[in-house]
C-alpha cells in the first residue's frame, strides 16, 4: 500500500483526517471556513470520520465535524480505538459475502 510508505517517511500518519484531492481542498476552503483546521495535523490512512462511514459522497460538513472532534479530543487511546474499529470494519466487509 503506497500510503504506508508515506507513513514511514513521516508524511502521513496511520490515524488522522483523510487527505482530499487538491481541487477539493480549494473548493472546500472557500465554502467551509473551518475546513482548513483539519490541516493542523498530518493526514491519516484512517480516521474518526471513516470509522463512522463518512467518506466519499457523505456530507463534507459531517466529515469536517468528525475530523475536528478527533483533533480537539486526540489521545493515544482514541488512535487505538480508531485502528481497532478500522480492523473490525475491514474484517466484517471482507467476510460479508
Can you read off the three cell numbers belonging to residue 64? Answer: 469536517
pLDDT value for 2: 86
Residue 65 pLDDT greater than 60, yes or no: yes
**CB contact set of 11 (below 8 Å; sequence gap of 6+):** 42
Give yes or no for a contact between 40 and 65, defined as CB atoms under 8 angstroms apart: no
Please state the pTM of the whole predicted model: 0.85
Q: What tens digit of pLDDT does each residue of 16-59 get?
A: 999 999 999 999 999 999 999 999 999 999 999 999 988 777 78
**Residue 95: predicted pLDDT:** 60
Q: Any idea where the domains of the chain sit in the sequence?
A: 2-94
Q: Report the C-alpha gap between 24 and 30 in whole angstroms.
A: 10
Amino acid at each position: 500500500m503506497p500510503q504506508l510508505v508515506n507513513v514511514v517517511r513521516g508524511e502521513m500518519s496511520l490515524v488522522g483526517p483523510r487527505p482530499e484531492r487538491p481541487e477539493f481542498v480549494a473548493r472546500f476552503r472557500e465554502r467551509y471556513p473551518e475546513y482548513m483546521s483539519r490541516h493542523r495535523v498530518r493526514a491519516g490512512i484512517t480516521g474518526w470520520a471513516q470509522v463512522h462511514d463518512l467518506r466519499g459522497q457523505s456530507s463534507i460538513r459531517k466529515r469536517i465535524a468528525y475530523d475536528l472532534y478527533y483533533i480537539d479530543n486526540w489521545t493515544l487511546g482514541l488512535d487505538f480505538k480508531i485502528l481497532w474499529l478500522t480492523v473490525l470494519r475491514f474484517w466484517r466487509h471482507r467476510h460479508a459475502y
